[in-house]
Structure 1
Amino acid sequence: MKYDYLVIGSGPAGHVSAIRAAQLGLRVGIVEKDMAMLGGVCLNEGCIPAKSLYHSARVLDTVRRNPDLCGLEVRHGGIDMAGLVEKSRETARQLRNGLSFLFKKNSVDLIIGTARFVDKETVHVSGESGEASRVKAEKFLIATGSAPRPLPGIPFDRERVITSSQGIRLEKTPEKMLIVGGGAIGTEFASFFNTIGTGVSIVEIEDSLLPAEDREVSKRMRSIFKQKNIETLVSSRVKKVSVESGAVAVTIEGPDGETTEKYGLLLVSVGRIPSTSGLGLEKIGVATDDKGFIPVDERMRTNAENVYAAGDVLRTPMLAHLAYAEGEIAAETAAGQTSDPIDYSSVPNAVYSEVQAASVGMTEEKARSEGIDFRVGKQFFKSNGRAAVNSQTEGFIKIIADRDTGGLLGVHIIGYEAAESIHEFVVAKKAGLSVGDIAKTIHAHPTFSETAAEACRAVFGEAIHG
């Protein structure tokens, strides 16, 4: 059989693209090298199981901190990590089964095996048991995702030196651990392990936690970590690691020199690298850059006329929701349709720590560096009625708006369910609405979203409850 469109990789970009292409009338196949990883890293080793663990930990922590909650008698005991992990695995299994159903529903053929290009219309697919076949297609999508970036000279042993992939499967936790990398994933894991009782230190080479976020958000998150006894070492790097006597000895170089500490576990979260090697891209002339990323145009077309790419193999933010959009555009292009290009400045980012952070658009630092004339409005959740009711008053919403037009340049939230609250601003920014438009929109009371309107009013110094 020759497919109209063959997708390599079943992660967020791949499975969305395959289903969308099938909806548009194309004969579609999708190749996944491991049935147990159907749906990709996000579904099996990232977004879904990790957030399941975080949610379980937060529920347990809420009960632990509120023994008289709803008049219930709470009996304290140890945390059943194996149970938490099993719940997260079951969640992933349910969604994986759902994805299999969607493929069947949309007549997408699932092919299990590792794909490698033979020529511009053929891939060789080899299975785990040694069986092999050749699959032909008119057009292809490369959506093979990414893998954890190792520390130079420090290999993962998957027992004491681990990645997030092993971190979500730990059924026993150490008394003390070090996380290398203070970005979103490192921050989330630090928050999770701290919540379940592990002593956590986190080291970041940049001069702030969450270096990609607005400085005020980063600073507040670090303060929250300090309150929770999470040690944050910024402007620091790991210089040496050795595993000895069931522990990991780590030498850290910081502003005040070198220190060596022993930890029960070292979790490395210093970014990810595209999984583009071994695909035979040289056989079909698909270009990659010096880091292995595949350059594409706004229609997700590579330099090879019948080959598209989407998701983590692109030099765009490695976010599942962005991969969805990129995959959909690739499918529509392959089917001869035209769709609006992605506005990357309106793509939201979220950090799922106990106190969440979320953002869209420019940071204040970025706006200042570009010489933009802007105003800042900020409103704290402590003045919000629903936040008080829910005992979730930590954090704020910060708005960066054009001084003359009131147009949204950037929004930064730290607080309860920030990842949900950001979408009002994403829609407003994409639609070209001003802070005045949001401020004049009546928000239901009592809700956390009222703080959004107040933050917009604060841009002009008119917040009622601020």
Structure 2
Amino acid sequence: MADTDFDLLVIGAGPGGYVAAIRAAQLGMKAAVVEREHLGGICLNWGCIPTKALLRTAEIAHYIQHAKDYGITVNGSVSYDVAPIVKRSRQVAGQLSAGVKGLLKKNKVTVIDGTAKLLGKGKVEVAAKDGNKSQLGAKHIIIATGARARTLPGLEPDGKLVWTYREAMVPEKMPKSILVIGTGAIGVEFASFYRAMGVDVTIVEVVDRILPVEDEEISALAHKAFTKQGMKIKTGAKVTKLDRHTDSVTATIESGGKSEQITVDRVISAIGITGNTENLGLENTKVKVERNHIVTDQYMRTDEPGVYAIGDVCGAPWLAHKASHEGVLCVEKIAGVEGTHPMDIRNIPGCTYSMPQVASVGLTEAKAKAAGYEVRVGRFPFIGNGKAIALGEPEGLVKTVFDAKTGELLGAHMIGAEVTELIQGYTIAKTMETTEAELLHTIFPHPTLSEMMHESVLAAYGRAIHY
């Protein structure tokens, strides 16, 4: 390595780290990023992107199974081969990881392979895979080490019978039955994929509803949709024991004081994630760690001057786009860019790519009321939208929550076809601090699913036209 001193050194090249390094380079900083495994991090290699490739396969399988509804006859039986499904998913991930490498090179960011450890003020040790160690210096250091799957005693994944997201993405064969523990985005997405591929799916959630961070109305609609697809859903339930056999697992599930056992081929553990804070040399700094996540201020600064942290290692919400945005605002604050704003988590959209899709931004109706707001709520169902009916996707809902006094858009919540693409409209509206007045007078194109967004706003003020 010719260069050993940098203006900015980023530890971790995930969607937070590589974006931070590129933005620093754009601002004239001499930037480097240290990565021990994959450029693009978990998101590009084992998370957001390859799972969407799998879900696309599931979506196509779903439409083939319902081809008659669209006037198309599929001759013969429809079958699939798991190997090319997985291969395509891995190829998509590989293509994007290579793209990140190209972007870093284009922006003249130094990429260093190895594992980084803080040695003290402005000093970092990097251990290469061959065991050789070197020291680097940097005025500013950003920790972007991400997170890993959380585990519970007795329910630990083993890679064969009990899977994390990694094993669930690359099955050697398709199981006949699966138990998914946890109904956040990760759990629900895998449940959707495997169910669409014909697997018998049971999902267990410890709280009283699935997708617990979403609006209660949306959660209820998702529950109904998944049940209709054949999933077995157990809420207010807890997996207390896993008995592992040669090629199956018997799970003990407790709910309401009762206990039952079910036997499945495989178990997917999706009970959350925990920050990668270990072996970073944080003991050599004033960086605080609480509940396995690094503590930062609104500009991602830790208690150690010159050391920052972004992304999943800082805690919820664990989203790639949140990490990227934090990387940009952190670097711009370091560079003294005028008008740099801190993160407002109320403006971070969340997306779940299940079937049906779920998307949201801002406060739920319940949280808005709990925060003391007097609210106006608008709802518009997919069945009232021409494009949704034409697509054969008439089930879903768009829900908007406004401050009754000021007209501020407090939150938006959706379930149905392509809502993960639609939610950005409301995200822009929230970022611009739009009120109902601007949204009411916005012209939406016809025929589109986006018209439901307008109708939901109209409904909040008693003006819905089409329902």
| TM-score after normalising by structure 1 | 0.97
Any residues of structure 2 matched to 1:37-48 within 5 Å, and which?
Answer: 37-48=38-49
Q: What SS class does the counterpart of residue 16 from structure 2 fall into?
A: helix
1:65 corresponding residue in structure 2: 66
Moved more, 12-21 or 292-301: 292-301
Q: Aligned equivalents of 2:222 and 2:62: distance in 1?
A: 18
Q: Aligned equivalents of 1:76 and 1:437: distance in 2?
A: 52
2:13 corresponding residue in structure 1: 10
Q: Aligned equivalents of 1:84 and 1:388: distance in 2?
A: 30
Q: Give yes or no for contact 1:8–1:30 (8 Å, CA) kept in 2.
A: yes
The number of residues matched between the two structures is 463
Q: Aligned equivalents of 1:83 and 1:67: distance in 2?
A: 26
1:224 corresponding residue in structure 2: 225
Q: Aligned equivalents of 2:47 and 2:11: distance in 1?
A: 19
The one-character-per-residue Cα deviations of 1:214-237 (angstroms, maximum 9, x if unpaired) are 000000000001101101100000
Q: Aligned equivalents of 1:12 and 1:429: distance in 2?
A: 23
**RMSD over equivalenced CA pairs, Å:** 1.3
The one-character-per-residue Cα deviations of 1:189-213 (angstroms, maximum 9, x if unpaired) are 1111100000000000000000110
2:165 corresponding residue in structure 1: 164
- TM-fit CA distance, 1:297: 1.4
Q: Aligned equivalents of 1:236 and 1:313: distance in 2?
A: 29
Q: Give yes or no for contact 1:5–1:334 (8 Å, CA) kept in 2.
A: no
- TM-fit CA distance, 1:67: 4.3
- TM-fit CA distance, 1:154: 2.4
Displacement over 4 Å in runs of 4+ = 67-74
1:87 corresponding residue in structure 2: 88
The gaps in structure 2 that reach 5 residues or longer are: none
Q: What SS class does the counterpart of residue 59 from structure 2 fall into?
A: helix
Q: Aligned equivalents of 1:249 and 1:441: distance in 2?
A: 55
Q: Give yes or no for contact 2:299–2:343 (8 Å, CA) kept in 1.
A: no
- TM-fit CA distance, 1:152: 2.1
Q: Give yes or no for contact 1:64–1:76 (8 Å, CA) kept in 2.
A: no
Q: Which amino acid aligns with 1:127?
A: A
The one-character-per-residue Cα deviations of 1:115-173 (angstroms, maximum 9, x if unpaired) are 11122222111122222211221110000000000122322110101101111111312
Q: Aligned equivalents of 1:76 and 1:438: distance in 2?
A: 48
- TM-fit CA distance, 1:405: 2.5
Q: Give yes or no for contact 2:67–2:74 (8 Å, CA) kept in 1.
A: no
Q: Give yes or no for contact 1:9–1:143 (8 Å, CA) kept in 2.
A: yes
Q: Give yes or no for contact 2:149–2:274 (8 Å, CA) kept in 1.
A: yes
- TM-fit CA distance, 1:284: 2.1
Q: What SS class does the counterpart of residue 293 from structure 2 fall into?
A: coil
Q: What SS class does the counterpart of residue 97 from structure 2 fall into?
A: helix
1:131 corresponding residue in structure 2: 132
Q: What's the % identity of the aligned pairs?
A: 39
Any residues of structure 2 matched to 1:277-316 within 5 Å, and which?
Answer: 277-289=278-290, 291-316=291-316
The one-character-per-residue Cα deviations of 1:305-343 (angstroms, maximum 9, x if unpaired) are 111110011133111001000011121122232411122
Q: What SS class does the counterpart of residue 232 from structure 1 fall into?
A: strand
Q: Which amino acid aligns with 2:33?
A: I
The one-character-per-residue Cα deviations of 1:33-77 (angstroms, maximum 9, x if unpaired) are 11xx21100000000000110011101211221147575644433
Q: Give yes or no for contact 1:68–1:74 (8 Å, CA) kept in 2.
A: no
- TM-fit CA distance, 1:394: 1.1
Q: Aligned equivalents of 1:4 and 1:21: distance in 2?
A: 9
The one-character-per-residue Cα deviations of 1:432-452 (angstroms, maximum 9, x if unpaired) are 212232122111110000111
Q: Aligned equivalents of 1:295 and 1:396: distance in 2?
A: 37
Q: What SS class does the counterpart of residue 241 from structure 1 fall into?
A: strand
Q: What SS class does the counterpart of residue 12 from structure 1 fall into?
A: coil
Moved more, 69-78 or 151-160: 69-78
The gaps in structure 1 that reach 5 residues or longer are: none
Q: Aligned equivalents of 2:156 and 2:457: distance in 1?
A: 48
Q: Aligned equivalents of 2:17 and 2:321: distance in 1?
A: 12
Moved more, 221-230 or 328-337: 328-337
Task: Note closer, same or farther for the CA distance 1:71–1:429 as it changes in structure 2 (3 Å cut).
Answer: same
Q: Give yes or no for contact 1:436–1:457 (8 Å, CA) kept in 2.
A: no
1:32 corresponding residue in structure 2: 35
